[in-house]
Amino acid sequence: MYKMYGIPNCNTVKKAQNLLGEKEINYEFINFKKQPPTKALLTQWKKDLGDWPVNTKGPTFRKIKEQFEKANAQEKYQLLIDNSSAIKRPILCKSDKLVSIGFDEEAYSKL
């Protein structure tokens, strides 16, 4: 089963959800606002991506950018847990493996 992490009122998340619905693909939605990501999840996503899973263009990240850039790794984890809107979304996983980050219609259509 797929797991989608994000924020329900995000337009990008809505596009991804609509496409999964059209393809009749079952998934569990994890709302960052109600269930922030854990350090373990962030660690896995960072490993899979080769970088922090941040939305550098988003307003939340821009607010914490300077603090994030000066922070050590432990502080970066806490900043992302406390400011989950700074994480690029949606994040789609299957069996705890990263499938996609952000919405890429072509990647989703191949599911």
Contact call for residues 10 and 89 (beta carbons, < 8 A) = yes
Q: What is the pLDDT of residue 108?
A: 86
What tens digit of pLDDT does each residue of 67-110 get?
999 999 999 999 999 999 999 999 999 987 899 999 988 888 88
Distance CA 98, CA 72 (A): 24
* pTM for this entry: 0.90
Per-residue pLDDT of 30-75, as tens digits, reads 999 999 999 999 999 999 999 999 999 999 999 999 999 999 999 9
Q: Which domains does the chain have, with CATH numbers?
A: 2-109 (3.40.30.10)
Which DSSP string corresponds to the chain? -EEEEE-TT-HHHHHHHHHHHHTT--EEEEETTTSPPPHHHHHHHHHHHTS--B-TTSHHHHHHHHHHHHS-HHHHHHHHHHTGGGB-S-EEEETTEEEEES--HHHHHT-
